[in-house]
Amino acid sequence: MRKNLEILDKIYNLRYKSGKVHLFYSINKLVGRFGNVISLDKIYVSKEYLSYLSEKLFQDKNRIISFFGGNNKFVRLSLVQEFIQDFGRDIAQEIKDDFLELKQKNSSIFKATKERMLVLKENENEDMTNEDVVLIQSYLSNWKNLQDKIKYFIPEEFYDKKNNYFYTSLLSYVKFLEKLNPDYESGIKYLQAIN
């Protein structure tokens, strides 16, 4: 199938910039500090994210959040830990594992995506294959999942506050990802159109 070099450049730019800041590694390193360096008392998580995590862990999106009433859209993580440990689970570890899945997926396709895109960009006569579309789409979807996960995780009420280093750092990644959204949108629309 015919390739669009302008769009491929945008996708490559997104992948290059994300790699330059070690995006997946850096975010996992930050999340990895839960419970060790960063006290669970200092972390508030959105009920939206907890609902997603509850469905993932218990196949019931209300299992965790049903314990927390009130009008707040967020919960202190130390309170979630008190509840979830009754099920033999550690909330900090569950969140670390959740983010780690995206990092592992990224690691499995990051190099292959780069190498294949370089070949496509440098060889005028080389057309894209279905495998190329699947590979690049997989990279872009995983990239978008990371952005969405951070946004779900941080309560909206905390977006304009400098509560602590953890939130400030995560929000800086949100801003970084948002700047690359136009490249993501162009890439994903193009891949959907040719697939």
Please compute the mean of the pLDDT values over residues 50-55 and round it to a whole number.
95
Strands (E), 29-139: 44-46, 74-76
Give the per-residue pLDDT at 163. Answer: 65
pLDDT tens profile 63-83: 999 988 888 899 999 999 999
Give the per-residue pLDDT at 165. Answer: 82
Domain assignments of the chain as residue spans, ordered by start: 5-36+91-194
Query: Given 3.40.630, 1.20.120, 2.60.40, 3.10.560, which CATH number is that of 5-36+91-194?
Result: 1.20.120
Q: What is the pTM of this model?
A: 0.90
Question: Running DSSP on this structure, what letter comes out for residue 46?
Answer: E
pLDDT tens profile 158-173: 877 766 788 888 889 9
Average per-residue pLDDT in the chain?
92
- Given pLDDT bands bounded at 50, 70 and 90, which one contains residue 35? confident
Transcribe 16-73 into DSSP letters: HHHHHTTHHHHHHHHHTTBTTTB-GGG-EEEHHHHHHHHHHHHS-TTTTGGG--SS-S
